[in-house]
Amino acid sequence: MSELVKGSVMFLNLYDVAEEIKLEHVRELLGARPQERVFKNAAPEYVRFERAPVIESISVEGLAPQAATGQVKYYDYGVISVMFEVPIAAGWEAIVEMASKWMSGSEFESAALRVAKEKTKNVEGALIRSYPNWLSEDYFIFQFNEVPGSPAASEFLLKHRGDIARIVRGETTPLSLEEQNEITQSFISYYPTDLVVIGWNAAVIYDTPAGAQTAIQLLEYANSQLLEFRYYDEMLTRELAGVYGFLKARHGLFARWWRQKRANRLQGVTVEVTELVERVDNSIKFLSDMFSARLYRLAAAKVGVPDYKSLVNQKLHTAEELYRSLVEEFQASRGFLLELMVVVILVIELVALFRGK
Q: Is the pLDDT of residue 42 over 50?
A: no
Task: DSSP letter for 340, please.
Answer: H
pTM: 0.82
Strand-strand pairing, 5-21 and 79-90: antiparallel
Task: Grade residue 35 by pLDDT with cuts at 50, 70 and 90.
Answer: very low
Between these two residues, 312 and 202, which has the higher pLDDT value?
A: 202
Mean pLDDT of 246-272: 62
Q: Is 4 helix (H, G, I), strand (E, B) or coil?
A: coil
Does residue 319 have a pLDDT over 80? Answer: no
User: What is the arithmetic mean of pLDDT over 134-147?
Assistant: 95
Nearest to 172 by CA among 101, 97, 105, 106: 97
- SS3 call for 286: strand
User: Region 110-133: what's the mean pLDDT?
Assistant: 93
Q: How far apart are CA 235 and CA 348, in angstroms?
A: 51
Are the C-beta atoms of residues 80 and 73 closer than 8 Å to each other? yes
DSSP state of 147: -
